[in-house]
Structure 1
Amino acid sequence: MSGGEEREGHGMIDPVPDPHTEPVPGPGADPVPGPEAEPEDAFRPGLDDLEAQLLGEPRSMRRRQVSAGAGISLLSARRFWHALGFPNVQDEDMVFTDADLAALRAVVTLVRDGTFDQDTALAMTRAMGRTADRLAIWQAQLMAEVLEHEPPEPVERRPGEPSRGVPGSAAARAAGEKLTELADTLEPLLVYAWRRHLSAAIARMVADAEPSADHEGVFRVVGFADLVSFTALVRRLSEHQLVQVVQRFEALASEVIAAHGGRVIKTVGDEVLYVTIGTPPAAAIALDLVDAIKEDDILPKVRVGMASGQVVSRLGDVFGTTVNRASRLTAVARPNTVVVDDAVATALSSVSGFEMAQLPPRTLRGLGRITPWRLQRAGASGRRGRSDSGSATTT
């Protein structure tokens, strides 16, 4: 929502109408006629019907109508639109629907009744916008891949050979039609998943806030799992094959991590970052992940680094020295092995099912000199605890 005369006002609680505002059509009103009613970014023929089905109605309002209908300045309305993740629009663009107006009014009401201040309202909107954007792209690509016809046995790509990384036109349109058809079925599942995760997030937050004799602040065990030689793999495989590898890795890692009560913080192609509250679950995740990938015919070898300690938890992500230490330890690990810091090794020393072998001290960039340990399952003898033999290897 940009361009034209705007007034700063008082943000989202600014009730000043714009002097050039057009009247706001009521629900169900006909779109404003005229050649300018078609926005510059209108869908191509055949897709506008899908948009109308998803949005519930055709686009019928310009930006000034929406801002006036919500009783706020154009600048404030633009901030809301940007927080959702959408670009600027011009005065003449017929972009908005009654649903956009209702959403803006809902956010304005939260600010005006004192539930949120403006910054918090925009931050909440931004969180939903980013999450919805990633979810929509993820689902659209998945559906297109399901519908895309692929050769039964794709050949490896030679260096320099081009590769198509997007679905064909027919598959893309078919995916759009199918997702539009399923939208009403998927929408309740989205709300269900959000409420489930919100409940779990509140429980973790309350637990972290409770005083602890053992730890201060937010304590987590952090694990990094990294596919070995992924860069070489990227050069060698077709994009379709790389998609298969990444999806297989993410699906397998997510399943193993969730099974032991961990949380996937993020995935970046060949790497997954996860956290747990307890040390034994984190160790079980690492070892199960290595074992599962060993048995997989598609995935290359994996290596895992783990560290425990205080983390900074912010907006679903984690930061801090503990996270950096786990990342650095991943580089120390050899293929199909797990390397942990001294805190993890100490915590597991009295837990059955695990054993640790001390490795030579290493100097890690930005962290100084530390003693890494190789984690493995207890042998047939059932021996547990730490072996302080500096001659241990990670083969």
Structure 2
Amino acid sequence: MLHRQADGDFEADSVHRLRLIQFAHSRGVSNQQLEAATARQGDLLALYGELTPGAEAPADLARAAHDLGLDDVVVEELAEILGWDDLGSGTHADMTTLRTVAEAVELGMPRDALMQLMRVLADATDRLADAVLRTFHDYVHERFRAQGVVGRQLLEATQHVAGPALKLVEPALVSFHRRAYQRASREDLLRHLAEDTTAPSKTLGEERATVLFVDLASFTALTATMGDHAAADVLRRFGAAVRSSATRHGGRILKQIGDAFMLLFSEPADAIEFGLAVDRFADAESQFPALHIGAHHGTVLYREGDYVGGTVNLAARVASSGRAGQFLITEDLRDLAADRVDADFTLSPPRRLKGIHDPIRLVEVRRRSLERANRETDPVCGLLLDPDDVASWITWRERTFAFCCDMCRHAFVEDPGRFVTVHEN
């Protein structure tokens, strides 16, 4: 598996190939398994060498950092962020990173801010690289396998598509970054314009913003009943609606965990308009779960590409406290935006939310243009059903229940009390 030249010396890529072999060993793969896979599929190790260093001599990063004027603390932080296990065997790319950091420090960039940026870039590129390779493996390579392609032909077919396509990733990344930078620059302009009317914050990273959470009210039940593929299709439709609505209403998706999205809005009214838009989408979709939507406006702390603090926690609690199909906001948010949004706002009595010390009055937001469609809720999967979507009905204990399919009906017949209890809670 390590190639030699005619004079017996190892080829330039041998160090990298050896590292791949050692990595495979660390995951329990033996030399025999590697050799068998190579015999069946071809030179697998060669696939993972395109972006790795060639015959360049390893660089001493600790010495280079000292020559550049970087102290040991900075080097240790960089090593932790970038996974530099051996400072004595750095690459040309590692040296470029060191020089960039040294230049930023010399220009006056505070070290804590610089390290935050490095962590954000490291996390983002790790996720990007993993997404690129997993997507090609799961949706290109596995598709060829399903078609019966095997052995070397399988590897060749995959590389015929993936090889040229992967070369487009870096140019696309630059293009996407430039586009995103333009959008972020507009928001930064607004922050500068607001300086004449706002005092400087005493806390670094402190901002005021509206945080909104939205999720599918019955996604766990839907997945358990209908299976992963059906649930994934619902999530795909939901995700597309969230992203398009966020773009239209000036929102930024900060994170997605399963079926839950966290978004940030600079303008309070935009957050409410977004919530109404995704609520309208769910109401119009056939056989789609109801949503939980909750939002709050207040002070947030920006840290390493994320936002934390009491405002975020409260917005999450507001979203989780509502019934299926409810859009809830705080009084603070209503007072800032109600006169700019075409919607009905209903104030509720004070209530306690988990993890929130004082009772709080929430406000339900409803669209004025259309009342929510008269739908039935499937007690098993939680889908909202129009009359034409109902596949069957069952009466149990003097109550009538609608079902989207025979699968849900059969599950209910086997244990009705389980689903009625879940639905009522």
State the number of aligned residues: 329
Q: Give unpaired runs (5+ residues) of structure 2.
A: 1-8, 24-33, 147-153, 372-425
Superposition TM-score, scaled by structure 2 size: 0.64
Q: Is the 8 A contact 2:210 2:296 kept in 1?
A: yes
> Residue 369 of structure 1: SS of its match in structure 2?
coil
Distance 1:41 1:248, change over 3 A: farther
Which sits farther off after the overlay, 354-363 or 119-128?
Answer: 119-128
Q: Does structure 1 residue 53 correspond to structure 2 residue 47?
A: no
% identical equivalent positions? 21
Superposition TM-score, scaled by structure 1 size: 0.68
Amino acid at match of 1:340: I
Aligned to 1:288: 277
More helix by percentage? 2
RMSD between aligned alpha carbons? 4.1
Aligned to 1:270: 259
Distance 1:314 1:118, change over 3 A: closer
Q: Among 85, 90, 105, which residue is 1:88 paired with? A: 85
Q: Give the Cα–Cα distance (whole angstroms) in 2 for the partners of residues 138 and 115 of structure 1.
A: 35
> Residue 214 of structure 2: SS of its match in structure 1?
strand
Distance 1:124 1:332, change over 3 A: closer
Structural mapping, 1:279-358, within 5 Å: 279-297=268-286, 299-351=288-340, 353-358=342-347
Amino acid at match of 1:192: R
Q: Give the Cα–Cα distance (whole angstroms) in 2 for the partners of residues 90 and 238 of structure 1.
A: 48
Amino acid at match of 1:372: L
Q: Is the 8 A contact 2:272 2:341 kept in 1?
A: no
Aligned to 1:206: 192
Amino acid at match of 1:136: A
Which sits farther off after the overlay, 33-42 or 372-381?
Answer: 33-42
Structure with the greater alpha carbon radius of gyration: 2
Q: Give the Cα–Cα distance (whole angstroms) in 2 for the partners of residues 273 and 34 of structure 1.
A: 44
Q: Among 195, 201, 214, which residue is 1:225 paired with? A: 214
Q: Give the Cα–Cα distance (whole angstroms) in 2 for the partners of residues 133 and 316 of structure 1.
A: 14
Deviations 1:196-239 (A, max 9, x none): 245245325424544349x9973322211121122223434544
> Residue 138 of structure 1: SS of its match in structure 2?
helix
Aligned to 2:367: 377
Q: Is the 8 A contact 2:207 2:300 kept in 1?
A: yes
Q: Give the Cα–Cα distance (whole angstroms) in 1 for the partners of residues 261 and 277 of structure 2.
A: 14
Q: Shift of the alpha carbon at 1:338?
A: 0.7
Amino acid at match of 2:221: A
Q: Give unpaired runs (5+ residues) of structure 1.
A: 1-29, 153-167, 382-395
Q: Is the 8 A contact 1:260 1:281 kept in 2?
A: yes
Distance 1:139 1:75, change over 3 A: same
Q: Does structure 1 residue 137 correspond to structure 2 residue 130?
A: yes
Q: Is the 8 A contact 1:50 1:176 kept in 2?
A: no
Structural mapping, 1:247-262, within 5 Å: 247-262=236-251
Q: Is the 8 A contact 1:228 1:301 kept in 2?
A: yes
Q: Give the Cα–Cα distance (whole angstroms) in 2 for the partners of residues 312 and 326 of structure 1.
A: 14
Distance 1:188 1:369, change over 3 A: closer
Q: Is the 8 A contact 2:321 2:353 kept in 1?
A: no
Q: Among 89, 95, 99, which residue is 1:101 paired with? A: 95
